[in-house]
Amino acid sequence: MLIDQLLPRYDIRARYQIDIDAPVERAYSVARHLDMRDSILVRWLYRLRGLPGSGLTLDGMLKWGFVLLADEPSQEIVFGLVGRFWTPSPQIQPIQPDAFVAFNRPGFAKAVGNMAFVPLSDGRGVRVTTETRVQCLCDSSRRSFRLYWRIIGPFSGLIRKEWLRQVRYRASPQSLEIRPSS
């Protein structure tokens, strides 16, 4: 996976997956254009952390500091962020995708997230995974981030699980059916 090339060493890792009854191309397209504004849970968690509501889409995340590190259609999307996430003002560092891997300034951390798409062996769907990795760039940032992650990690996991549920809901054939109104 591309995430392995972009952040092979990390201090924290969280991974979730879901199987979806849809073609891989559809699951990728839904994930790439996913808009989480309909999710009360995600909107609330973003607001609680002080994140902008514009970050509820991948394009919105890119506008406030994330960088698109890789986008291989129907295979994997990888995005990254550099900052001091554990502080009230996370000091997000503007960085170009080609400088992400080499960034190594003490006091900061690098985070990557992905969505990967693997067709199921039975040919009837796709497994979609999302993984978050964080590499802290010095002992002090590692200690601070680990404490922060104990609090934030479960909520970050809820967001990732909701992403997967939304992709499954929107990509599955049932979401394309016209339902009678009551």
Question: Is 177 a domain residue?
Answer: no
Question: Is 13 a domain residue?
Answer: yes
Q: Which of 67, 58, 70 is nearest to 34 (CA)?
A: 58
Domain with residue 13: its CATH number is 3.30.530
Share of the chain above pLDDT 90, in %: 68
Q: How far apart are CA 43 and CA 131, in angstroms?
A: 20
Range in 23-32, 55-64, 89-98 with the lowest mean pLDDT: 55-64
Q: In 10 A of CB 154, how many CB atoms?
A: 10
Question: Is 24 a domain residue?
Answer: yes
Cα–Cα separations (whole angstroms), residue 155 to 1, 5, 26, 46, 123: 25, 26, 27, 10, 33
How would you class 94 by CB atoms within 10 Å of its CB: exposed for 0-12, middle for 13-18, buried for 19 or more? exposed
- Identify the residue with better confidence: 181 or 31: 31
Give yes or no for residue 35 having a pLDDT over 70: yes
Residue 23's pLDDT band, with cuts at 50, 70 and 90, is very high
Question: Is 179 a domain residue?
Answer: no
Q: How many domains does the chain have?
A: 1
End-to-end CA separation in angstroms for the chain: 46
Which DSSP helix (H) or strand (E) runs through 32?
A: helix 24-32
Give yes or no for residue 83 having a pLDDT over 80: yes
Residue 29 and residue 142 in contact, taking contact as beta carbons nearer than 8 Å: no
Mean model confidence pLDDT for the chain: 89
Give yes or no for residue 11 having a pLDDT over 80: yes
| Domain assignment of residue 87, given as a range | 7-171
Question: Is 159 a domain residue?
Answer: yes
Question: Is 73 a domain residue?
Answer: yes
Q: Which of 73, 74, 93, 75 is nearest to 83 (CA)?
A: 93
Tell me what the mean pLDDT of segment 125-150 comes to: 97
| 95 SS3 class | coil
pLDDT at residue 99, as a whole number: 96
* Contacting residues for 121 by C-beta, under 8 A, at least 6 apart: none
Tell me what the mean pLDDT of segment 64-69 comes to: 90
Q: Which of 29, 14, 17, 36 is nearest to 128 (CA)?
A: 17
Question: Is 180 a domain residue?
Answer: no
Question: Is 151 a domain residue?
Answer: yes
What angle do the packed helices 139-171 and 40-49 form, to 10 degrees?
160
